[in-house]
Amino acid sequence: MAELETGIRPHHTPEANREKHRVALTSLLAAVLLTSTKLGIGYWTNSLGILSEAAHSGLDLVAAGITLWAVRVSSKPPDQRHTYGHGKIENLSALAETLLLLLTCVWIFWEASHRLFLGKSVEVEANVWAFLTVLLSIAVDVSRSRALKRAADKYHSEALQADALHFSTDIWSSMVVFGGLVLVLVADLTGLAWLQKADSVAAAGVALIVVWVSIRLGRQSIDNLLDSVPVGLREQVARAARVPGVEQVRNVRVRRSGPDFFTDVTLAVAHSTDFAEAHRLADASEAAVRGVLPGADVVVHLEPVTAPGEDPVALIRLVATQHGLGAHSIRIYEHGGSRSVELHLEVAGHLSLEEGHRQVTAFEKALRREMPPVARIVTHIEPAGQSIAIRPADPGLENRVLHLLQEWLEANRISGRPHEVQVRFQGEQTDVSFHCALEPGISIEEAHALSERLEIHLRNRLPNLGRVVIHAEPPEER
């Protein structure tokens, strides 16, 4: 994850920050020019349309100043208090611009209503300067909206996008005002007094456009502040994250902070997946998510699950090991589409029954989650193996045991060779362990049954026999 290692994301490189600052500053200067020009010409001509445009541009000036500030602050790297960076400043600035636009609309509607319905008489002078001002506004707005839109799309900057939206709406509103001035000029030439109202109607039209744009921009800003994401984006990320080898995508979270996306993905992989393969899957999933959200900060969490065909006994032992337990004598019973599991669990002997039972209960919950459907789990709790004081037996006893084994094998006409016989005394009992080479072609079940018969033979011939451990092996392993 190069972005995390360097601390610099693609949208916050020095080159990107310089370009965003330059575009924002140029827009601020353009807003100063338009506001001052429209204000002067509007008062000179008494055109409410131009004055409304001046107010609109005045708010564009404030908005451009907010945008410049927001772009500078949002480019700061993450710190201890703002671990996700400062990108939300751009969302806040866009929301502030929305509120300023709505305030402008209130004033325009108030003034237009007085001129249209309350008899306020104002003579509008549709002279060449008024038309030149509107045409200048359209030319500047076209240039700035395009430059801002390019930078906003390139760097996914909501602050620049809001500024671009301001300038683009100025184009349409200026055209409405231009039409209003044309009708006023027609009124002066034809004597149709009712056309004098066209300027106020044009101003109300400007306000309606601004209200519509403001609501759209405000909703987008609020959605981003509340970490809303576009419809379908989460599903798109989930599909990309499920690269070959991933069993399931369990959770996907996406949030946006200014131009940056942050994505948390939880993937389920088979228990048998080794560490190197798991790391490869995480890298592949991370790269796939960045294919959907370029430059995103992606965190991938892996969880082990049972894959189809995976050995359930191996899974049980793995889950037990994860909980610090030893599992043996595992039996799995299938019935009616569900499973019952019976097993022995080795727990540290120094624990109390309550502590040991708590540990076993946690294991059972994990097993039910990882190996569904398990209807019933029965565990026999026993202390883990401990070092016990023992003493070796004399060689004569070991020879006797070896003789008993060979005698039984010959009597039953079984090809086998016992060796490495060890006999130890544990208190009043005698423990025996030995290796026995058997035919390599016999099955595990046959070898186990033979070992049990050997053990019974020894117990019948040796008094106080305790533990018997028999290691069956093929001859070539000697």
Residue 252 identity: V
Going by their DSSP bridges, the two strands 248-257 and 260-270 should be labelled as antiparallel
Pick from 355, 352, 332: nearest CA to 342: 332
Query: What's the pLDDT at 45?
Result: 66
Q: Element (H or E) spanning 318, and its range?
A: helix 312-322
CA end-to-end span of the chain:
51
Question: What b/e readout covers 107-123, taking b as 16+ CB neighbours within 10 angstroms?
Answer: ebbebbeebeeeeeeee
Query: What's the pLDDT at 294?
Result: 82
What is the rounded distance in angstroms from the CA atom of residue 6 to the CA atom of residue 14?
A: 13
Contact of 35 with 43, CB cutoff 8 Å:
no
Pick from 349, 98, 323: nearest CA to 213: 98
Pick from 76, 72, 78: nearest CA to 93: 72
Residues with Cβ within 8 Å of 268's Cβ and at least 6 positions away in sequence, in order, are 246, 247, 248, 249, 250, 302, 303, 304, 305
Look up residue 332 and give its two tokens.
């799995």
Residue at token pair 């592949």:
284
Going by their DSSP bridges, the two strands 391-392 and 416-426 should be labelled as antiparallel
Look up residue 198 and give its two tokens.
């066209």
What is the rounded distance in angstroms from the CA atom of residue 297 to the CA atom of residue 317?
A: 36
Domain 233-305: which topology?
Alpha-Beta Plaits (3.30.70)
Residue 253, classed as helix, strand or coil, is: strand
Question: What number of H helices and E strands is found in the chain?
Answer: 13, 10
Helix axes 233-241, 275-292, angle to 10 degrees: 150
Is 3.30.70.1350 the CATH classification of the domain at 391-477? yes
Look up residue 410 and give its two tokens.
């010959």
Same fold, 2-225 and 233-305: no
Contact of 375 with 338, CB cutoff 8 Å:
yes
What is the rounded distance in angstroms from the CA atom of residue 395 to the CA atom of residue 348?
A: 35
What is the CATH code of the structural domain delimited by 312-383?
A: 3.30.70.1350
Look up residue 382 and give its two tokens.
């026993």
Residue 240, classed as helix, strand or coil, is: helix
Sketch the domain layout of the chain as residue ranges: 2-225, 233-305, 312-383, 391-477
C-alpha of 74 from chain center: 22
Look up residue 349 and give its two tokens.
């002997």
Average pLDDT per block of 10 residues along the chain, 478 residues long: 40 60 68 71 65 66 68 65 65 73 74 63 55 74 75 66 68 69 68 60 72 76 71 87 88 79 87 84 92 86 74 82 86 79 86 86 87 82 66 76 90 87 79 87 85 89 84 72
Query: What's the pLDDT at 413?
Result: 87
DSSP state of 161: H
Going by their DSSP bridges, the two strands 429-438 and 416-426 should be labelled as antiparallel
Look up residue 295 and give its two tokens.
């430059």
What is the rounded distance in angstroms from the CA atom of residue 240 to the CA atom of residue 255?
A: 17
What is the rounded distance in angstroms from the CA atom of residue 43 to the CA atom of residue 54?
A: 10
Contact of 436 with 416, CB cutoff 8 Å:
yes
What is the rounded distance in angstroms from the CA atom of residue 468 to the CA atom of residue 163?
A: 84
Residue 426, classed as helix, strand or coil, is: strand
Look up residue 180 and give its two tokens.
């209003």
Is 1.20.1510.10 the CATH classification of the domain at 2-225? yes
Sheet containing 429-438, strands listed edge to edge, beginning at the edge strand earlier in sequence: 391-392, 416-426, 429-438, 465-473
Q: What is the dihedral of CA 422, 325, 303, 310, to 10 degrees?
A: 50
